Structure 1
Amino acid sequence: MFRLSKFFKNNKLVVILCSIIVFIALIGLSIRSQSQSSVEQYIGDSSSAGQRIVSYPVQFVAGSIGKVFSGDESKATKNKIKQLEAKNESLEAENKKYKKELDIEDISKYDPISSTVIGRNPDQWMNTIVINKGAKDGVKNNMAVMTSEGLVGRITKVNQFSSQVDLISTNTRNNRLSVNIQHKDANVFGLIDHFDDKTGELVISDINNKDSVKKGDKVVTSGLADQLPSKLYIGEVTKVENDGYGLAKQVRVKTGSELSDLNHVYVAQREASSADSESGDN
């Protein structure tokens, strides 16, 4: 025994070399063999199990995050599409509106001043507006203000670069506009009494019971006492009824212009008749 231990002590290098050779030989055999040992299989299974334990939560979290972001991205894309569609619809409506205004011959007869609404107080929404044209542009008091759909009001205050417009829906005694209701070949005279906020209609009162007025009749300016051009379109009769005493008729009128939504208007500088006479003289 002593001799054997002495041999190993004296031949350490030989023992190390032999061990290395044996180790290399075992590695070579394992590489050549297509089957894995039980130990190798156990180590591999344990390793793969650990990978699955780690990878499943990671995949779940990653998938969830991916769904969240993909969902958000999908929602964002849908919202952008909706915004673009809404914008396109708005542009198309605006283009149709301006095209209609350009095609209206009646407006051109008044040598109109094109203007934009720049001011409107919420508490006076259906009473007054402010436009961006004034005395420098030829605007004067009592000039008619209209859109392509009809009369909306008249100039009541003129500054150098802006003007105030009293709308035909203004409920003041001074704003009782004189009108003609066109029934067949006859004109029925009346005064706009007030604007009904609930129905959004003008009310013409004190129409004689003998006068014939029907739903669908056109209402225009009379040109009397208001310093406004005659025959400016205002709206259409929607309802005819007796007043509270049954002594006269009350007529309701839906305005041609949308008074609650005004952006672009025209100021009429002269009577259509004067424009027609000038064109006839030429």
Structure 2
Amino acid sequence: MSFFGNKRLIIVLVGLVLLITVMGYTSRERTSLTWPEMFVKDLFSVVQGIFYRPAQAFSDFIHDVQDAYNVYEENRALKASLDQYAQTAAELTMLRAENERLRDMLQAKSNLNKFQLRYAEVVARSSDHWNDVMTIDKGLKAGIKKDMAVITSKGLIGRIQSVSNFSSTVELLTNIERSNHISATILTEQTVNGKTTYLPVNGVVEEYDPQQQLLIMRKIPLGQKIGEKQQVITSGLGGVMPWGLPIGRVVRAQPDVLGLTQTVYIQPNADFSQISEVFVVERMVTVTPSGDLVPSQQAEVSGQPPATADSQPAANPAPAAGSGGGH
């Protein structure tokens, strides 16, 4: 028993000695490997190569799928941001346009403070009669009456053609006919004794040229000197339109066919294609057939009808130099 125990101890000691010897031998610097080392190394290299390539390919595939998914998510986020930006930009443009329109309307109301103005919005406009009529959201309940002048922040656009309780139809200047001519005044600029003054030249706006998009004013005395860019306003002589509403500016003047009077072509101030808000103007002073100037309310109470373009015109109060939106 003692022999076998000593024998196992001897074997363990010999094994340790051999292991230490091999470790010491293999740990030193060598120029080449032993054949067992080369065999084991080559065997492990082959086995690793067999399993490494498929594992690497699978890992690369998973990585590519993850990258593609990340790109998809980023692209979707960018598209959402782009859509939101486009919507925000559109809203900003609309707000800017609305702000500009409201500023113009406020400025126009400030400039026309001598008139009673009623604000209204355009609610309908027929594509078949785009340049003829439109509908606004104010009617009899808001004090709107037939033949009241209708303006935008830029100038006159037409008159009230018909009225219901809660809406009204506006006839535009582009649909001028014989029954709705407009008495107008050209503020001619003249220099007298070194001072610039504006002398009124009266006439009648009778027609609209759709090709040139110009209003045509006739019955201007031939001797009157009419220059380009001179301002045209309502004269108030017809008894319907109040005095001083801006219409446009002179483009050119030429003798008529008979050579007795002049025909003046006018560029309207207002853009008839883009109208969304308007002012309805109440005439504060009415010209009676007798030639007297009375407040509109008094004329209605007394039963005196307002003068028309064909009625006896009365001289309206002479405007102050440069008034009525002169140069």
Query: Given residue 153 of structure 2, which amino acid in structure 1 is its aligned partner?
Result: S
Kindly provide the CA deviation profile for residues 27-49 of structure 1, in whole angstroms up to 9, marking residues without a partner as x: xxxxxxxx984444333333332
Greater Cα radius of gyration, structure 1 or 2: 2
Query: Given residue 236 of structure 1, which amino acid in structure 2 is its aligned partner?
Result: R
Query: Given residue 123 of structure 1, which amino acid in structure 2 is its aligned partner?
Result: D
Q: Partners of 1:210 and 1:45 in 2: how far apart? A: 109
Is 1:174 the counterpart of 2:187 in the alignment?
Answer: no
Q: More displaced, 154-163 or 231-240? A: 231-240
- Which residue of the partner structure matches residue 276 of structure 2? 263
Q: Partners of 1:257 and 1:139 in 2: how far apart? A: 21
Is 1:218 the counterpart of 2:231 in the alignment?
Answer: yes
Equivalent residues in 2 for 1:63-102, closer than 5 Å: 63-64=67-68, 66-67=70-71, 69-102=73-106
SS at match of 2:175: coil
- TM-superposed CA distance for 1:240, in Å, is 3.5
- TM-superposed CA distance for 1:220, in Å, is 0.6
Equivalent residues in 2 for 1:128-143, closer than 5 Å: 128-143=133-148
- Which residue of the partner structure matches residue 42 of structure 1? 46
- Which residue of the partner structure matches residue 24 of structure 2? none
More helix by share: 1
User: Against the structure 1 CA distance between its residues 171 and 268, is the aligned structure 2 distance closer, same or farther, given a 3 Å change threshold?
Assistant: closer
- Structure 1 runs not aligned, ≥5 long: 1-34, 276-282
Higher relative contact order (CA 8 A, sep 6+): 1
Query: Given residue 49 of structure 1, which amino acid in structure 2 is its aligned partner?
Result: R
Q: Partners of 2:212 and 2:171 in 1: how far apart? A: 20
Query: Given residue 113 of structure 1, which amino acid in structure 2 is its aligned partner?
Result: R
Query: What is the RMSD of the two structures over their aligned residues, measured on CA atoms?
Result: 3.1
TM norm structure 1:
0.73
Contact 1:168–1:177 under 8 Å retained in 2: no
User: For 2:110, which of 105, 108, 113 is the aligned residue?
Assistant: 105
User: For 1:231, which of 244, 251, 266 is the aligned residue?
Assistant: 244
Q: Partners of 1:274 and 1:49 in 2: how far apart? A: 105
Q: Partners of 2:91 and 2:130 in 1: how far apart? A: 26
Contact 1:177–1:226 under 8 Å retained in 2: no
Aligned length: 242
- TM-superposed CA distance for 1:61, in Å, is 5.2
- TM-superposed CA distance for 1:268, in Å, is 1.3
Q: More displaced, 231-240 or 129-138? A: 231-240
Q: Partners of 2:93 and 2:71 in 1: how far apart? A: 32
TM norm structure 2:
0.64
- Which residue of the partner structure matches residue 131 of structure 2? 126
SS at match of 2:57: helix
User: Against the structure 1 CA distance between its residues 186 and 65, is the aligned structure 2 distance closer, same or farther, given a 3 Å change threshold?
Assistant: same
User: Against the structure 1 CA distance between its residues 60 and 252, is the aligned structure 2 distance closer, same or farther, given a 3 Å change threshold?
Assistant: farther
Q: Partners of 2:261 and 2:46 in 1: how far apart? A: 106
SS at match of 2:138: coil
Contact 2:131–2:174 under 8 Å retained in 1: yes
User: For 2:170, which of 159, 162, 165 is the aligned residue?
Assistant: 165
Q: Partners of 2:216 and 2:70 in 1: how far apart? A: 62
Q: Partners of 1:267 and 1:157 in 2: how far apart? A: 13
